[in-house]
Amino acid sequence: MTELSATPAAILPDDAPTERLKRPSILRKLRRDKAAMLSAGFLAVVVALGLLAPWIAPYDPYDNNLRMMLKPPSAAFWLGNDGLGRDMVSRLLFGIRTTLAMGLLAVLAGGSIGAVLGLTAAYFQRLEGPIMRVVDILLSFPSILFGLAIAAVLGAGTTSITIALTVAAVPSIARITRGAAMVVMQQEYISACRAIGMSDARIMFRHLLPNCASTIFVYLTLQLGQTILLGAALSFIGLGAQPPTAELGTMAADGRNFLFFAPHVSTIPSVVIFMIVLAFNVLGDALRDVLDPRLRQ
């Protein structure tokens, strides 16, 4: 496969080497984008809620009370109760915490591995073939199958999902990174670095990586939303977080069994997932518009 095929973001800057991340200007541009700011604000609130969950949750998210099973929203329980009578508000707060932690961890881990693979493939010509073939192999497995196999080995649960999501993130990020790095590699100053005897590692991580960083970063933002959704799909086929862990995907998937009876149990976490993913996507799109010089008119 060509590096062109690795451009779902189409954000490979042609003038990247001279273009470092200029934070002030980027922020200023982003600030003009209302949707992006709204998304960023929303995500900040969500992250804060997740972080503060243990202190702000009105009830114990694991305290079940079968008498309150599937009760609709009420004054005492603002978003109603789930299949075991647990408070939906509290479970949502803890769920956000788990889901975001899983998603971030997977994207960061997968992103790092993928980025290193991509950089290596771009920098060492000899390794390009083998690395990209491995990436092709990984890419050939639908991530849902990976999730299944990993869950079968380690048992279903947050650890398994996180590993599966990590594995799923590696190949696409490796490709994106390689594509971006290849462009940078053609620049003269890389040859200059080599000429003055700079070490390979230094060139890769001090010069190559920073120049691909914006591309990778944008892609990671977009990937995060997809990762959360994949986690939800894995929950649907029964590989979700183990009880009583509150996790948005698992809550939505488990609650669906009562969808026609007590719609709030599944709908509320689904809507929260939807909004988080939407916010990440909008933010990612906006970042890409700002960071990709060719789209600037």
Partner 1 sequence: MRTPKRGTLLGTLALAALLPAALLQAAAPAAAQSTVTVMRTIDTDRYDPHKSTARSTAEALFMVGDTLVALDPDLKTVHPLLAKSWTVSEDGKLYTFKLRDDVTFCSGKKFTAKDVKGSIDRWLDPETKGVVKNRAGDVKEVRAVDDYTVEYELTQPYSELLFQMTQHFHTIINIDQVKELGADFGVKGFDGTGPYCFESWEPRNELVLKKHEAYKWGPAFYDNKGPAKVDRLVWKIVPEDNNRVAGIQSNQGDATQYIPYWAVDQLEANPQIAVTKAPNYFWTYFVGFKITREIADDLTIRKALNLAVDQKAIAEGPFFGKAEPAYSYIHPNVLDYNKQGVDQSLFGFDPEAAKKLLDEAGWKVGSDGFRYKDGKKLHLLAYSFTNIWQQIMEAMQGDMRKVGAELEIQVFDATVIWGKLATQDFDMFTMSYPYVSAGDAMNLYFPSANRPTPNRVNWADDETDKWLLEGRGALTPEDRFAAYAKIQKKVHDAAIWIPIVHEPMFVAAGPRLKPIPAHGIYGAGLYKGLGIELK
Partner 2 sequence: MPLDSCNAWHGRCQGNDGRPSSGVRVPLAVLQHIAHRLLISIPVLIGVLLIGFLLLQVVPTDPATVMAGPTATHEEIAAIRESMGLNEPVFVQFGIYLSRVLQGDLGRSMISNTAVATELANTVGPTIELMLASLIWAVPLGVILGTLAAVRRGRLSDRVIMAISVAGVSMPIFWFGLMLIQYAGFHWKLFPFQGRGGPLWTLDGLDHIVLPALTLGGVFIGPVARMTRTSLLEVLGSDFVRTARAKGVSEYRVVVGHALRNSLIPVVTLIGLQIGFLLGGAVVTETLFAWPGVGRLAVGAIVSADYALAQGAILVLALSFLMVNLVVDVLYAVLDPRVRAR
Binding site for partner 1 (CB under 8 A): 62-67, 69-70, 83-85, 152, 155-157, 238, 242-244, 254, 256-262
Query: Which among partner 2, partner 1, none contacts residue 69 (Cβ within 5 to 8 A by kind)?
Result: partner 1
Q: How far is the CB of 2 from partner 2 (least distance, A)?
A: 5
The token duo for 142 is: 């639908």
* Shortest distance (Å) from residue 267 CB to partner 1: 13
Closest residue by Cα to residue 103 from 277, 282, 284 = 277
Q: Which of partner 1, partner 2, none interacts with 254 (beta carbon under 5 to 8 A by kind)?
A: partner 1
Q: Residue 105: which of 164, 175, 49, 176 has the closest Cα?
A: 164
Pick from 21, 44, 45, 137: which binds partner 2 (CB under 8 A)?
137
Question: Among 42, 88, 112, which residue's Cα sits nearest to residue 268?
Answer: 88
Residues 16, 216: Cα–Cα separation, whole Å: 13
CB of 127 to partner 2, least distance (A): 14
Distances in whole angstroms, Cα of residue 152 to Cα of each of 98, 99, 105, 137: 21, 21, 21, 20
CB of residue 225 to partner 1, shortest distance in Å: 25
Residue 59 binding partner per list partner 2, partner 1, none, with a CB distance cut-off of 5 to 8 Å that depends on partner kind:
none
Contact 249, 234 (CB under 8 A): yes
Residue 3 C-alpha from the chain's centroid: 22
Q: Are 70 and 261 in contact (CB under 8 A)?
A: yes
102 binds partner 2 (CB under 8 A): no
Residues at the interface with partner 2 (CB under 8 A): 1-5, 7-12, 14, 35, 129, 133-134, 136-137, 139-145, 148-149, 152-153, 172, 179, 182-183, 225-226, 229-230, 232-233, 236-237, 249, 252-253, 256, 259-260, 266-267, 270, 273-275, 277-278, 281-282, 285, 288, 294-295, 297
